[in-house]
Amino acid sequence: MTDLIHRAAQALRSARKTIALTGAGISAESGIPTFRDPGGLWDRYDPEEYATIEAFRRTPGKVWRMMKDFTELKTARPNPGHYGLAQLEQMGFLRCIITQNVDNLHQDAGSRDVIEFHGNMRQVICQQCDKTLPLEDISLETLPPYCSCGGVFKPAGVFFGEPIPMHAMLRSQEEAQSCEVILVIGTSAVVYPAADIPRVAKEAGAQVIEINPERTDLTSGVSDFLIQEKAGVAIPQIVAAIRAMAS
């Protein structure tokens, strides 16, 4: 394992530009359940009933109640994996993070350039007049919450069946096509178009380094190598290895 950590540290030190794509796995050690691991969110809630825009429009109150129950999201704190990526950015070895997560933990850990590919849950958008407010500015006493125009507020996360925010899509393509290394951390790489990002980087000549305790659809054909470890363990080790090389 340590030689893969050193291989990753070397790659980041010599790359002109490194980016990261993260998924729910990087927040697992913050207590937020992933979606597809055993016992994950989609074991408890049918995504067809809770995660599609059609389901939200059909039963907004039911979807809001599920999200309100999702207290882990409110109490979660960044873990060493998030802090490690923020350190790599500060050290100049990581340009940006493209995250599929909506938990804001990268920003809470100090990362500055974070592309929210699936939006975020910090804001709500009125489905009728598009008014956008911070989540904490609305009352969740009655669900679903209503806008003053009578429309229903929806969390600003991207539901299945909704488009990826255009700026996030364009910026992610641009970064993937121009990086020399992409770290792919904590994602099963089964949801598109996010799962395309490592392939776009690979086709543009980048080295693809996966960090995940499990193999994924990327591991054999796309990734150059897999550090089969938890993000909260592997990322701090990469940071330490870079520091040791620099001294």
The residues annotated as belonging to the active site are: 118
In the bound state with ligand APR, the residue whose beta carbon lies nearer, of 151 and 213, is 213
Considering the rule CB under 6 A, would residue 172 count as an interface residue with ligand APR?
no
Cα–Cα separations (whole angstroms), residue 198 to 96, 208, 224: 14, 7, 11
In the bound state with ligand APR, the residue whose beta carbon lies nearer, of 79 and 147, is 79
Burial class (CB in 10 A: 0-12, 13-18, 19+), 244: exposed
How many Å apart are CA 153 and CA 135, to the nearest integer?
Answer: 10
Nearest-approach distance from CB 216 to ligand APR, in angstroms: 5
Considering the rule CB under 6 A, would residue 28 count as an interface residue with ligand APR?
yes
| Binding window for ligand APR (CB under 6 A); candidates: 129-137, 142-150, 197-205, 213-221 | 213-221
Site string for ligand APR, 36-55 (x = CB under 6 A): xx--x---------------
Q: Where in 93-112 is the site for ligand APR (CB under 6 A)? A: 100
Considering the rule CB under 6 A, would residue 231 count as an interface residue with ligand APR?
yes
How many Å apart are CA 183 and CA 246, to the nearest integer?
Answer: 20
How crowded is residue 79: how many other Cβ atoms within 10 Å of its Cβ? 22
**What number of CA atoms fall less than 13 Å from residue 82's CA on the CB side?**
25
How many Å apart are CA 175 and CA 158, to the nearest integer?
Answer: 21
Considering the rule CB under 6 A, would residue 131 count as an interface residue with ligand APR?
no
In the bound state with ligand APR, the residue whose beta carbon lies nearer, of 84 and 232, is 232
Give the residue closest to ligand APR by C-beta. 25
Considering the rule CB under 6 A, would residue 25 count as an interface residue with ligand APR?
yes
Considering the rule CB under 6 A, would residue 88 count as an interface residue with ligand APR?
no
Nearest-approach distance from CB 185 to ligand APR, in angstroms: 6
- Counts of helices then strands in the chain (DSSP H, E): 11, 9
Considering the rule CB under 6 A, would residue 144 count as an interface residue with ligand APR?
no
Phi, psi for residue 244 in degrees, rounded to 5: -65, -35
- Cα end-to-end span (Å), the chain: 22
Considering the rule CB under 6 A, would residue 9 count as an interface residue with ligand APR?
no
Helix 231-246 to helix 2-14 angle, to the nearest 10 degrees? 60
Question: What are the residues binding ligand APR (CB under 6 A)?
Answer: 23-26, 28-29, 34-37, 40, 100, 118, 186-188, 191, 211-214, 216, 230-232
